[in-house]
Amino acid sequence: MNQRQVKRNIFRNIAILFFLLLSTSSVASEKIDVKNIRYWSSSDYTRIVIDLSGHVEFSKNLLSDPDRIYFDLKNTRLSKDIKTVFPVGDGMLKAVRAGQFDPDTVRIVFDLEMIKDFNTFFLDSPARLVVDVQGTKSIKKPEVVLTKRKIVIDAGHGGHDPGAVGPSGIHEKDVVLDIALKLKEILVKDPLNEVFLTRETDVFISLEERTAIANNKNADLFVSIHANASPSRRAHGIETYLLNWTNDEEAMTVAARENAISLKKMKEMHKQMDLLETIKNDLMRENKRDESIRLAHYIQKSLISTLNRERNNRKRIDLGVKQALFYVLFGAKMPSVLVEVSFISNPGDEKLLSNETYRMQLAKAISNGLNIYIMSTSVTKVTAL
């Protein structure tokens, strides 16, 4: 592996560490539990998530012969019943190991094979440290080529997380799953589309796993589908989001709800990011910002124009393309957006959302938006048939 590159990364990641230190609020005497380690791996991208009982301070270090990176999590203890050795063997990481290094420190070791890059960030409620590792695998030039695109559709929430609940009891998780399934059905009619859903049934999937699925599939596009909610039952309309810093309180409120964190936490996060330009850039550098903006505009435009052509619908208010810090978009390596299809908290919209025809109209409109984006994108990924 190229040690200089990794060292450069470490320096860059020190900025993130600074961010983590700022957001540290744990009481020093109380030990933070390292509760679980999870990972999703493919040949050129792996996401590792370390579940914690609270914020931690940590340091990281690079060692050679054999090459490894380790993270020392301060003031932590390793939960007794967790798995501590993970043989990964994906060409980038040999293994991930965890151990109680000393009474106050849990050490997480990444045994390296060959990596290009890695990036670390922290998510809250519940607290978890996310490490994204990028491989060096180059794309082989195929002999027979066809332009294909992989689209990952993410139906929000699921399982024990119902998402927003409408006044008559309709769950966001059910509405958005049905829209996602319909959208897939429409998109797969084009043989050049390869479509994956993060969930096809009523199951719970963490926000970070959804992004990991899209990155592991090496997706070209990622669309997360949600229904909006507001304390005001009169609020209605459609809006499409991309990942970015914002100072718009309403956008922050939406992101806080979708991230399942408090608005206060959300505001703190924005404040910290605003102070540290490097963090802002670092967390979002992979996100293909310009492409995400284009994708968001095409989908938003298509939703408004398509739905307002339908006679039976009430007029759809165009709330526009907005940005906020959605966990589900953190670390996504492709153009990625989150659509709030309507307000489930609005009795009129809830009624529409409970109607299959309306859900199909929404799916068609999103599909149209995606198609316009794809057609207008000159650089299409080339994949072997």
Contact between 194 and 152 under an 8 Å Cβ cutoff? The reply is no
User: Per CB under 5 A, which of residues 150..179 are in contact with Zn ion?
Assistant: 156, 163
Whole-number minimum distance, CB 174 to Zn ion, in Å? 12
If the CB atoms of residues 154 and 286 are measured against Zn ion, the closer one turns out to be 154
Residues 299-338 that bind Zn ion (CB under 5 A): none
Pattern 46-75, binding to Zn ion, x per CB under 5 A? ------------------------------
Dihedrals phi, psi of 239, to nearest 5 degrees: -145, 150
Distances (CA, A) of 52 to 39, 56, 227: 15, 8, 29
In the complex, residue closest to Zn ion by CB: 226
Rounded least distance, CB 197 to Zn ion, Å: 16
In 10 A of CB 182, how many CB atoms?
A: 19
Residue 95 neighbours by CB distance under 10 Å: 15
Q: CA torsion 290→294→300→306, rounded to 10°?
A: -170
382: β partners: 147
Locate tokens 């050679």: which residue?
64
Site string for Zn ion, 232-271 (x = CB under 5 A): --------------------------x-------------
Binding residue for Zn ion, selected from 107, 226, 236, 294, defined by CB under 5 A: 226
Work out how close the CB of 176 gets to Zn ion at its nearest, in angstroms, rounded to a whole number: 7
374 — phi, psi (to 5°)?
A: -60, -45
The Cα 28–Cα 5 span in angstroms is 34
Query: Any bridge partners for residue 147, and if so which?
Result: 382
Q: Which of residues 226 and 288 has its CB atom nearest to Zn ion in the complex?
A: 226
Q: Given the complex with Zn ion, which of 171 and 226 has the nearer CB atom?
A: 226
Min. distance of Cβ 204 from Zn ion in angstroms?
13
What the block records as the tokens of 201 is 């049934």
Contact letters for Zn ion, residues 100-139 (x by CB under 5 A) = ----------------------------------------
Interface residues toward Zn ion, by CB under 5 A:
156, 163, 226, 258
